[in-house]
A and B are shown apart, each in its own frame.
Chain A
């Protein structure tokens, strides 16, 4: 493998110490990690107080359309700790977080962490598979479109990508549901009629995954394609490509071995930034296909407002974004030596 690496890639995997950046790297990593921790703490504080600004009294919501007397309401308020001053509530909440206690949902009266835990896996499965496919298809189409720039293929692909990118997800989802006419299940992740056992259950989940995944994929892949295309176009006239061609390399090898690896850098950042953001993007698709994920949990919690759940989801999602950004920064330093020495 090593022989086929370009000089840039080879540089990227050499020991950083050789460049005299040993302590520099450690310091860089520590700074970035400290920054990430500070961001997450800020998210916790902001999350708590911001959600308190939402209009709506959770108790009024819980007792709406149900006969409740003032005694019951006072009891409820005390049980949820809503009778205490705001700062005391925050203190309890903050202390709880460190023991893995995210509080109790107002509506379901269950630990928030359990609820998030249940919903995390379906969302990761849905968004994860759609993202992986979107990256693969997007990059592949982007490379091809850039290489044949201004061809019919390029213009058609760019047009399709831009169209799908701007289509509302729920609408696309409903359209697919109607168009496929019952070939794929329209709701949930499991069919109540699926046979027990690991294999049939897995097939059942995959069967349910098809439509929501295709919907997300259709919207996601466009940005990877467009970024890859423009980034590759930027590399197209570089001298090193002329050199490679002068060596007598076949055109597709010039593309695969020389141009694409260099054009990948901006895409890597995008991939990591998107990983953190996509969960929120799944809200509408999860609703259309009744996919039991985090998006739906958030949507339901907003109606309460179910503050503990909203806070929990907010902390988890924001932390994911912060962590992914941290990873992107660290990885970028590994991938691009110019960043490391700068």
Chain B
């Protein structure tokens, strides 16, 4: 029987931790916000942290010079109270606020900011995560504690939204090697000035923070923040239902629909930062203007590309593939960034019209054969390869729809859905006709636009540059350069829109839609979150810390009920387990009771 007792004790011990949390909830102690993380964390070190979740950790821990505002996602004061530019737009002066403190009590000064940028200019490793922001810097200096002066080599429009966490000089200056593992520890990365202070980090499992009581904007209402790593979104959804986590993002439309209307769960559908597109190989070239790849030459004909664009019904894709959780596409800057987003005017838009597309192809001389398929200039049947991600439901279904529509205008489509790596290789080398693609964009439109400049194309070896469309057009590049050099927001927005219009006119890609960010949270634990942009933006899918900083806990009573029901469940399970164990124990005991002389 001793064995049965031991098993019983073990079972009881296994129960204890949960009983403990239930009790804690009932006593309504520190208010904890648990966020499900479905992407990995590589580093805490803000200089090397490159993955999205790590960047997010940096946002909670460190303040930035400026951050995208909660209401419009546009540059707003943070560590810098204000900023000015010189008439030649090469010198930027930031006024650093006086009332900010590091979590070890030392004041935050302009010297810390100067140290951060100078370290990035002199140390290759320090440029790992955000090097692109300083590539064009000439000098950075801090003439006094509240003034930061940055001189750039050429005009740089992204200066008012440098996405670089500012670190404390007194902690980081003594660290000579930024790849040192100790830079990923709480002792080093835990000294911050953001809304939350890092307290514990278990790699690949979770990150814990406590509210920074000295935060210059004021302490968050939540006492503790936990980011819990989930490798599987389905498990994370289950954890939300069980109340193990409070907020979750990156849901699929199916998961989102299933969560809608569930008790104590609220859903949030927000405009996303990502565009989905179908790109066309218009005879792509590398950055030395040599043709590369094996694209079908028929796509060099603008009339052909425009006809194809007319034959893609974005509305159907949004409705049927995205279950309605997307917005119709226009330019490459999504509508979440209102000031820079561009939609074609009514007359210029290529609306879905199979008859018009057919007619345009007839006029262009692509004759239809008896089987309804057209022939190209050499008399060959028109067949285009459509490549995409084999493992993405979106690509699988879009490929089906697009094949159908193109068949209707006399073009046969061969679907080639392949692995992510293979797709990358094919598109980098120009070995495709049509490709399903897409990019996530930043609040600053520079990135989305840069993807389509001549300079972004790969070199002769197929390496270098990050191009999306291989677009290379002097007119577009000129508009791109103008917007980059323009610091008046309204004038810059004008160039940004013109650049998108130019890209659209050449029909090298069709922006199908902008995905919605689909999120859900426990409404019994939290009554609201600060969204970005307002009023109907995202909670977690932000470029900022507003969501977790502005989280408002719900009344305590709801949470206490939850703890109670958990305890009851536990008692029932305990009883079942005990019965099973005792039953098994008796069976084992009986076998042991064979008389000794019966043993051989």
Chain A residues at the B interface, C-beta cutoff of 8 Å: 4, 54-57, 59-75, 77, 79, 107-110, 114, 118-119, 170, 174, 177-178, 181-183, 185-195, 200, 203-204, 206-207, 210, 249-250, 253, 257, 286-290, 292, 296, 299-300, 303, 305
Contacts and interface: CB of A to CB of B under 8 A. Distances in A.
Given A107-B50, A249-B600, 16 more contacts: A55-B419, A62-B50, A65-B440, A67-B450, A73-B465, A74-B464, A109-B42, A118-B203, A118-B204, A186-B244, A191-B21, A192-B200, A253-B598, A290-B230, A292-B205, A296-B231
Nearest to A289: B235
15 contacts: A60-B466, A64-B466, A70-B459, A174-B238, A186-B235, A187-B228, A188-B229, A203-B13, A253-B598, A292-B203, A292-B204, A296-B204, A296-B231, A299-B231, A303-B420
Given A65-B439, A67-B132, A203-B17, A192 B420 contact: no
A156 to B, nearest CB: 17
B242 A182 contact: yes
B235 A187 contact: yes
A207 B48 CA distance: 34
A186 B17 contact: no
A168 B421 CA distance: 26
Contacts of B462: 57
Contacts of B600: 4, 249, 253, 257
A213 to B, nearest CB: 12
Nearest to A204: B17
B228 A288 contact: no
Contact of B420 (A56, A79, A195): A56
Contact of A192 (B50, B206, B463): B206
Interface in B293-332: none
A86 to B, nearest CB: 15
A64 B420 CA distance: 12
B574 to A, nearest CB: 10
Contacts of B466: 60, 63-68
Q: Would you list the 8 A-B pairs with minimal beta carbon distance, nearest first?
A: A56-B421, A182-B242, A292-B204, A70-B464, A55-B421, A290-B231, A108-B42, A188-B205
Which of B419, B420, B569: most chain A Cβ within 10 A? Answer: B420
Contact of B124 (A4, A75, A119): A75
Query: Which of B239, B422, B440 neighbours the largest number of chain A CB atoms within 10 Å of its CB?
Result: B239
Nearest to A195: B20
A39 B231 CA distance: 34
A61 B419 CA distance: 13
Contacts of B234: 174, 288
Given A178-B238, A204-B17, A292-B205, A72 B232 contact: no
Given A186-B244, A300-B40, A181 B421 contact: no
Given A61-B424, A181-B242, A188-B205, A286 B231 contact: yes
A56 B464 contact: no
B370 interface: no
Contact of A181 (B14, B16, B569, B598): B569
A116 to B, nearest CB: 12
A314 to B, nearest CB: 17
Interface in B442-496: 446-447, 450, 455, 459, 462-466
